[in-house]
């Protein structure tokens, strides 16, 4: 019976919530360290870790695939640091190009920024490391609270 419970969405959602709490606590502890500041990492209240990677002037004419490889290469030090914190299996990176003039994220295929109309060369990239949530979603939480509320209401009504 316990094997069955370990495969249930309730147990998996609890484990994801526990992993998220670990990320938030670790980021709170680490954000004042020299290593965190030297990598220019920031964290928001949801637990997403983000930073901006700037490419050099010699990378302007490169294709998008080459630029993405250079961004991944420059983020290697960040990845090893996050691995040392134990975040390897519980976060996922997302890379998005930034407009150099207004700072908004844009699509890789865009040649002009849809927000300010500036010519894009994708010299800055935003990397967001966000927690993985497969079972602990907002819809799952709402359904869980509705079921618990119905059980409590039914118990109160029949007592």
Highest mean pLDDT among 2-16, 48-62, 98-112, 134-148: 48-62
Q: What global pTM score does this model have?
A: 0.71
- CA–CA gap between residue 159 and residue 154 (Å, rounded): 9
Residue 34 binned pLDDT confidence (cut-offs 50, 70, 90): very high
- List Cβ<8 Å contacts ≥24 apart for 72-80: 75/51, 75/127, 77/39, 78/39, 78/41, 78/51, 78/127
The reported pLDDT for the residue numbered 126 is 85
Q: Reply yes or no on whether the pLDDT at 143 is more than 70.
A: yes
d(CA 150, CA 31): 42
- Helix or strand run (H / E) with residue 109: none
pLDDT at 117: 65
Using the predicted structure, report yes or no on whether residue 33 has a pLDDT greater than 80.
Answer: yes
pLDDT, one tens digit per residue, over 35-86 is: 999 999 999 888 889 898 888 777 767 777 787 788 888 889 998 998 998 8
Neighbouring-strand partners of residue 42? 50
Tell me which of 60 and 6 has the higher pLDDT: 60
User: For 87-120, what is each residue's pLDDT tens digit?
Assistant: 888 888 888 877 665 666 666 556 666 666 666 6
Q: How far is CA 19 from CA 45, 46, 88, in A?
A: 15, 13, 11
């Amino acid at each position: 019976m316990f094997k069955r419970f370990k495969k249930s969405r309730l147990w998996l959602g609890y484990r994801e919530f526990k992993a998220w709490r670990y990320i938030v606590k670790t980021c709170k502890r680490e954000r004042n360290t020299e290593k965190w500041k030297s990598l220019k990492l920031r964290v928001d209240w949801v637990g997403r870790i983000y930073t901006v990677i700037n490419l050099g002037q010699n990378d302007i004419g490169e294709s998008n695939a080459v630029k993405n490889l250079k961004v991944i290469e420059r983020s290697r030090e960040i990845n090893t640091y996050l691995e040392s914190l134990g975040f390897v299996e519980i976060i996922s990176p997302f890379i998005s190009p930034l407009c150099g003039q207004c700072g908004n994220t844009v699509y890789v295929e865009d040649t002009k920024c849809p927000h300010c109309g500036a010519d894009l060369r994708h010299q800055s990239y935003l990397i967001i490391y966000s927690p993985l949530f497969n079972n602990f979603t907002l819809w799952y939480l709402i359904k869980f609270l509705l079921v618990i509320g119905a059980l409590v209401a039914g118990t109160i009504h029949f007592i």
